[in-house]
Amino acid sequence: MHSNLRLEVSATLVLNADHSFDQTLAHDGVANHANGNWSQLADGTIEFSNAFLKTSGEPLRGDESASSMDPKGSNLQIEISKSSHATEPVFYKRLAFQ
């Protein structure tokens, strides 16, 4: 049996001129707040710091990132993705030629 359960999430994101952001995310009567930083790449993409909240209300994990999906559109759409970067340093052995 399938239920038609809908999770309604309301969100407010304010991008400030000093490259900080204020975010409020509310669902199920619980409001979460975050303050962080944002930057804009040369192609217009906006990237957010790890303080950015996911729709679950949790901040991004160290291996996740949030950025705008289409910086040219009038509506800001944000994509959250896992990083392909290693979380630990990777060392490579280089052979010395004689």
Does residue 69 fall inside a structural domain? yes
Q: Which domain holds residue 42?
A: 9-82
**Residue 95, domain member (yes or no):** no
Angle of CA points 23, 36, 22, to nearest 5° = 25
Instruction: Please list, in sequence order, all residues whose beta carbon lies within 8 angstroms of the beta carbon of residue 17, skipping any fewer than 6 positions away.
Output: none
Predicted confidence (pLDDT) per residue in 53-85, tens digit: 988 888 888 888 888 876 566 566 777 666 655
Q: How far apart are CA 62 and CA 97, in angstroms?
A: 39
Alpha-carbon separation of residue 81 from 16, 30, 31, 40 (angstroms): 24, 24, 23, 17
Out of 18-22, 24-28, 37-41, 48-52, pick the least confident: 24-28
Residue 14 pLDDT > 80, yes or no? Answer: yes
Task: Answer with the residue of higher pLDDT: 94 or 50.
Answer: 50
The total number of structural domains in the chain stands at 1
